Each structure stands twice: as C-alpha cells, then as structure tokens.
Homo-oligomer: A and B are copies of this chain.
C-alpha cells in the first residue's frame, strides 16, 4: 500500500487521501462507508485507524493545521523580497484555483469548530494565533512600530480570509484583485509614512 501515498504509514496515507476526498465532497454528507469507498478501503479500516468518525475528523483537522503551519514556515523563509512582493505573492498563492477545494474545506472545518465541536475545535486554537506571530514579524520588518504591527497583522489576516470567502462565493477574480491591490497600496503608503518618522 505504501506506493499509494507519500505517507510512510497507512494511517497518514488515509488522512491525506481523506482530505482530498473531503475537499471534493465536503463534510456535511460524510459517511464512513462513502469515504471508505472513495478511498478504496472499507469503513472498518477507518474505524480501526481513527477509532471513530470524530477521531477521523480530528486527524483531518490536525493535518490541515499542520499544512497551514508548514505553508507559513515556507513564507517565513521567503527570499529577501520587499514587503509588497511578499504580500502579493501570498495573495496569489491563496487564490490559486487548484487550492480552492482545500480553502472550502478549511472554512467548512472552521465553521464546524466554531460550535463546541469536539472533533474540529482543536483547530480553532491555532487558526488565528499561529498565523499572527510571523505576520507581526513581517509587518515589523516593514518598519511598523510593534504596537501598531500587531493590529496590522491581525488586519492582514482578516483581509486574506475575508477576500478568500468572497472569492469562493463569487469567483470574481478581477474585482478581488482590485480590492486586494487597494489594500496593499494603502498599507504600503502607511508603512512608507511610518518609515519617514
């Protein structure tokens, strides 16, 4: 079975492929049998590896969070491009059509986690905080004083998520690019002003 996925153990392989399946079909109509059929295994195996349906969702949420943190780490080690380039690169990355199903899944799990949902709530802890730290670092590097940098970082995250929600609903790339650009230029303007003082 190892050749079926990059993962080294069958459980991880199942999680990875389950994420693909959920990204495509959503979580609302999820059944162990349906998922197992899509993965070419039996629902018995899912129970065996994850203990329960909730256990599976926990694993999926954890892996989603892990991937986000990995993407973030990659962002951190970006070449010494200027802040504007990094921001725009990140924006383009988040709006890659190939990523759309995963973005949808992310928001689906996010919404689920906002309930007292045992399975996905662990995701909630890091969903904002873990993004904030590197963003603050990034904004500070652009010359913003620390106290204002925290607010700017939070704002950047909100804009990224808000625009992504819009994008998933409307798919209006041109309008969204314009809105994003408007935000970026405004930010750059203010950062330049801050630099001058």
A190 CA / B190 CA spacing, docked (Å): 10
A150 CA / B148 CA spacing, docked (Å): 27
Q: Mark A138-163, 1 if CB is under 8 A from B, else 0.
A: 00000000001011101101111111
Q: Mark A153-184, 1 if CB is under 8 A from B, else 0.
A: 01101111111011011100001101111110
State whether the Cβ of A197 lies closer than 8 Å to any Cβ in chain B.
no
State whether the Cβ of A129 lies closer than 8 Å to any Cβ in chain B.
yes
Q: Which of A108, A150, A158, A190 has the most CB of B within 10 A?
A: A158
Nearest-Cβ distance from residue A54 to partner chain B, whole angstroms: 11
Q: Which residues of B contact A114 (CB under 8 A)?
A: 104, 107-108, 168-169
Chain B, Cβ-Cβ closest to A106? B111
Q: How many copies does the complex hold?
A: 2
Nearest-Cβ distance from residue A26 to partner chain B, whole angstroms: 4
Q: Are B182 and A148 in contact (CB under 8 A)?
A: yes
State whether the Cβ of A127 lies closer than 8 Å to any Cβ in chain B.
yes
State whether the Cβ of A117 lies closer than 8 Å to any Cβ in chain B.
yes
State whether the Cβ of A10 lies closer than 8 Å to any Cβ in chain B.
no
Q: A128-B166, A154-B176, A158-B163 are in contact. List 14 more A-B contacts (CB 8 A).
A: A107-B111, A108-B115, A110-B111, A127-B169, A151-B175, A151-B178, A152-B182, A155-B183, A158-B158, A158-B159, A158-B161, A158-B166, A159-B159, A161-B165
